[in-house]
Amino acid sequence: MTTEETLREIKLELRANMNGVVSGQMRQAGANYHVNFGVELPRLQIIAQEFAPNHEVAQQLWHENVRESKILAGILMPTERFSPELCDLWLEQIPNAEVAQMTVMNLFARLPYATEKAFEWIASDREMWQLCGFLLMARLIIQGTILNDRSREELLDQAHSLQNVQNLHLRKAVQNVLIRIE
């Protein structure tokens, strides 16, 4: 199946599973997408299982301002074709906390260089980068990543400096990490 055919099939699946009530609730809560089908996350995972990981398909999906496309892009991106530079580019384009959480869980946490990226992003002065860094570090710890003393201290220092930040999503991500390492 070509990239275009795969994308067409994915869009048909999204339309067939759209939920106007969920989409409306998300819009009222401030989720601003060009298109939001309101497809629930478990259903998106089932849809993703119908398609093989594909770099070109994932790239095309990521560049659409469609909630479900961005989430599916993270699931369908093969990690062996996802360079650290592309990783940073995608991070630049994450529109909100939901996409950040889904991309961290479905893609960033599977990367062989995930720990390095998490520390790099945590040290950033940009909130979305910090959010992704803390979300990623929490996910890595859950997956069994062991930190050496120096890394653990660095993580604690960064977390303590941000634990009272205004951004609710970032504050929760920081607290989540602190719970796991203190």
Q: How confident is the model at residue 136 (pLDDT cuts 50, 70, 90)?
A: very high
Per-residue pLDDT at 26 = 74
| More confident call, 101 vs 18 | 101
Are residues 14 and 77 both part of a single domain? yes
Are residues 57 and 99 both part of a single domain? no
Are residues 17 and 61 both part of a single domain? yes
Are residues 99 and 9 both part of a single domain? no
Q: 125 φ, ψ to 5°?
A: -100, 10
Q: How many domains does the chain have?
A: 2
Percent of the chain having pLDDT more than 90?
86
Are residues 40 and 77 both part of a single domain? yes
pTM of the full structure: 0.92
Question: Residue 23 above 80 pLDDT?
Answer: no
Are residues 153 and 121 both part of a single domain? yes
Tokens of 66: 């469609």
Give the C-alpha distances (Å, rounded to integers) separating 77 from 61, 108, 110, 129, 152.
10, 10, 10, 20, 30
